[in-house]
Amino acid sequence: MRNKKRTLYIFVYLTLAVMCIFTLRLWQLQILKGDYYRDKSIKNRVRVIRLPAPRGIIYDRKGKALVRNAPYYIVSLIPELTEKVDTKALSQLLGMTEEEILDRIKKHDPHSLEPIRLKEDIPFREVAYIEARRSDFPGLIIETDITRQYPYHETAAHLIGYLGHQMGNKRMSDGDELPEGTFIGQWGVEHLYDKALRGQPGRKYIEVDALGRQLRTLQIIRPVKGQDITLSIDLDTQMAAERAFGGKSGALLALDPNTGDVLAMVSLPSFDPNIFIKGVSEKQWRRLLRNPGHPLLNRVFQSQYPPGSVFKVITAIAALQEGIINKNFKVKCTGEIKVGRWRFRCWKKGGHGIVNLRRAIIESCDVYFYEVGRMLGIDRIAKYAFAFGLGRPTGITLVTEKRGLIPTTKWKLEKKGRPWYLGETFNAAIGQGYVTITPAQAAILISALANGGIVYRPKLTLPEPSEVISRLPLRKKIISFMKDALLGVTEDPRGTGWRARSEHVRIAGKTGTAQVISHTDDRQPSRIYPKDHAWFVAFAPVSNPQISVSVFVEHGGHGGETAAPIARTVIEAFLKGNRNG
């Protein structure tokens, strides 16, 4: 009897103990961790689908769309349901190898709640095919994003830029946290104005069953479309400018001299931004980087070269403004000038004879400007070069700019450890030697002369207030004289820029030729050495300037032969398309 009672007590005690354990466990689950498991339960039956925001459209100044939005379909897998999927059957459905699918699952961040992307940018026909069979694969979903199409391909690619995938979850500098795979601006205007263009994505909350199939929609937060942006460029002028190069490498910047608006920006060779949408393969990227034409280089702001005779505009203005010479000052050009054992030659063998300043500008006489440079000195030349915006970045935020170089006596002593020599002044006075500028700086220089002495910062969008960098205290008589001399460059029969002469508008300009130093290559004795680089800067109409242009052609030879006709084409195209021209 006692044994039975003892057994009964033990059973009761054990039962009570088990009940206490269960009670404690239930208390832990419901009280201590109740919120955690309720949240986990909700997450297991509620899915959050990201609704992409339509990206803002980029327009030219006349309202022509430069980009298009397009749907971008992605086949993805819910991370917690990967074990329920037949990857072999799934590979047949998606046209992928099973190894590719397993590799993507393996590489997915186990802490991320974002779906695993298996296949991207699939055509709509394939979307319909997969959707019809999706119920056989738990956790398989089709996501929709919005991407870009660039209908004009290489046209203005360095300005417009391109989109690309965000790699990994990332908090942007503007505070937005973007999940992996989000399309963001990677370059150009797409990158510069990415925050405004991309808008705000929405959210769709849905209830799903154990297999990840949607049961009902719980809530929808609508996406907010990105802001449209209007660029200052004129598409017709841009296309005319690119065609005018005829396959040559180079750069062009056209500005409104009265506002700083960028009317056209050309950097050649260019690239097709559409190739970046899916993600550039390693092979494609290597091909772009190794391309000897450097298509990713924005030559307008990131290349710097000796300006050649374009720089004579600075030398002439400096001499007139400082009172060193007047417009009637004459020099006899015999074809060269001697300093000790050194000879500094004019481009014209035999010389130009006796020339005044106007004729020296029109015919680009080197000897004349050697003498003017001697009287000015390098530091006074540099003073006016800096005033016109040379030797410093323009301040545009599109790319990281080159500064160019305007040498001074102090610069040479600090950088070279040697004093400045007279022969170096001769070279600098005609835009050779140490002097280098960018095509953008050349455009700002000629714009400042066209508008009477105001240096504007280039701007890309409309409406956007103009920003004055500086106002040059140039005498009106000097500006008037220089405009007349530059008009002679294109209209005088002896002018070096006569190929820029137009039947429709009077164009003022200045040619330049940047010398390319030849060198011997014993391995290629028959090699053809490259030509010099060609420059031309211009503005029009002379009486009421509405466009200024800087043209640079790599290995184009003389500026009057190759660069001047390009400038004429661009000016005529712009003025033809604008009524006030």
> Catalytic residues, which ones?
309
- Sign for the CA dihedral angle at 202, 53, 138, 109 comes to negative
Q: How far is it, in rounded angstroms, from Cα 496 to Cα 68?
A: 44
Q: How far is it, in rounded angstroms, from Cα 95 to Cα 278?
A: 18
| Contact between 115 and 77 (Cβ < 8 Å) | yes
Per-residue DSSP letter, 398: S
Structure tokens at 556: 């184009």
Name the strand (E) or helix (H) holding 456.
Answer: strand 454-456
φ and ψ at residue 457, rounded to 5 degrees: -80, 130
Nearest CA to 255 out of 489, 551, 481, 557 is that of 551
345: β partners: 336
Give the burial string for 54-76 (b: 16+ CB within 10 Å, else e).
ebbbbbbbeeeebbebeebbbbb
Per-residue DSSP letter, 320: H
- Sign for the CA dihedral angle at 290, 292, 297, 301 comes to positive
Q: How far is it, in rounded angstroms, from Cα 143 to Cα 457?
A: 43
* Contact partners, residue 92, CB within 8 Å, separation at least 6: none
Environment class of 370 (CB within 10 Å of its CB; exposed 0-12, middle 13-18, buried 19+): buried
Triad 242, 244, 246: Cα angle to 5°: 90
Nearest CA to 139 out of 53, 81, 184 is that of 81
DSSP-derived pairing of the beta strands 162-165 and 183-187: antiparallel
Q: How far is it, in rounded angstroms, from Cα 195 to Cα 173?
A: 10
> Residue holding tokens 């712009």?
574
Nearest CA to 188 out of 385, 396, 468 is that of 396
Nearest CA to 305 out of 564, 517, 570, 538 is that of 517
